Structure 1
Amino acid sequence: MPRGRGEREMSDSWSLAYIGLGANLGDPADQLDEARRRLAQIDGIEITRVSSYYTTPPVGVLDQPWFVNAVVEIRTRLAPLALLDVLQEIENAMGRIRKERWGPRLVDLDLLLYNTMIIQSPRLVIPHPEMHRRGFVLLPLAEIAPQTRHPVLHKTAATLLAELEPQAKVAYKL
């Protein structure tokens, strides 16, 4: 039977995923709060852990405000691409406009890890291809799930964080 608009295929089993949240426009902490509220309202998603919020310097485009970043752990019955669709729908509903890579944004929701899956597709790469280089991802991830393993590098979040260059670890807890 075809699915109607807004319906998503659900699995009978739950998967564990980690979502990176970031914002540097408007009131970034409020933006992350709103993104979490919207995520929690989606059928087939349960937020199980939330990191602290961290202020972090921008990467790539340096002439912009600092970011507020966090990571949430979720249990989900959505498949990876369906989860990506949900994240992009939330970004769009909150007013995200994609102008430039690494530029300022109202909200950014990145699917970092999904179980121990490795996915390389035109729409989705898991694990997130830059997560092991980004203190603004590893610091909150290691806070809530230090023993979570990167499925390609076979290292824990805590180990990856410890191996980062000092300049990549600049962050201040809110």
Structure 2
Amino acid sequence: MAKIYISLGSNINRQHYIEQGLHALTDVFGSLILSSLFESEAVGFAGKAFYNMVAGVSTELTLAEVAATLREIEFAHGRNQDAKKFSPRTLDLDLLLYDDIIADSPAQIPRDEISKNAFVLCPLAEVAGHLAHPIIGQCYDELWQQYDKSQQKLKTVAFIWPKK
């Protein structure tokens, strides 16, 4: 079984789409290990603030199957097929890690954003802090400790999952 980590993000009807994303991921993968939910400013474009978190799961799906499944979930929840990289999102699901595989296709693994964006690195450090980045070689806790936190501000959002 592969251990994978998925970033969830939304800046359109944020609470709703994060919850819908979690339901869909649970339907496909079963039990999720979740980070806290964070609010962060949009990066790369002027837009509403995002909600972001990271989910860890175990799966027998291949890397290609996981990438295709995440795209299907995004499209099922209002993502436009021609959406630009830096634009508003109903639901954005990015595969961050698939075990310690390094790949460029069908998805960039490990995802380049891990070390660049607080809204990815901080929640990943919460759920997989002890793991080492397969290229950089440092664990995610260390990377987060070294990160310049003045670059991007994060605010923890009260969030309970699953909903009672």
Per the alignment, do residues 105 and 48 of structure 1 end up closer, same or farther by CA in structure 2, a change over 3 Å counting? closer
Q: Distance in 2 between matches of 1:144 and 1:169?
A: 20
Among residues 20, 40, 47, which one is paired with 2:31 in the alignment?
A: 47
Instruction: Report the number of matched residues.
Output: 156
Among residues 110, 119, 122, which one is paired with 2:103 in the alignment?
A: 119
Q: What TM-score, normalized to structure 1? A: 0.85
Q: What TM-score, normalized to structure 2? A: 0.90
| Secondary structure of 1:112 counterpart | strand
Q: Distance in 2 between matches of 1:124 and 1:37?
A: 23
Give the structure with the higher percent strand.
1
Residue 25 of structure 2 aligns with an amino acid whose one-letter code is L
Partner of 2:76: 93
| Secondary structure of 1:125 counterpart | coil
Structure 1 gaps, min length 5: 1-13
Q: Distance in 2 between matches of 1:102 and 1:167?
A: 21
Deviation string 1:58-82 (CA, Å, 9 cap, x unpaired) is 1111x20000000000000100110
Partner of 1:32: 18
Residue 114 of structure 1 aligns with an amino acid whose one-letter code is Y
Deviation string 1:122-164 (CA, Å, 9 cap, x unpaired) is x311000121111001111111221121101011111111121
Partner of 1:56: 40
Pairing of 1:4-153 with structure 2 (within 5 A): 14-26=1-13, 28-42=14-28, 45-61=29-45, 63-97=46-80, 98-121=82-105, 123-153=106-136
Q: Distance in 1 between matches of 2:49 and 2:136?
A: 29
- What percentage of aligned pairs have identical amino acids? 30
Partner of 1:8: none
Give how far 1:110 is off.
0.2
1:29/1:53 contact within 8 Å kept: no
Segments of 4+ moved more than 4 angstroms: none
Q: Distance in 2 between matches of 1:47 and 1:102?
A: 30
Q: Distance in 2 between matches of 1:110 and 1:135?
A: 15
Per the alignment, do residues 79 and 56 of structure 1 end up closer, same or farther by CA in structure 2, a change over 3 Å counting? same
2:35/2:124 contact within 8 Å kept: yes
Residue 29 of structure 1 aligns with an amino acid whose one-letter code is Q
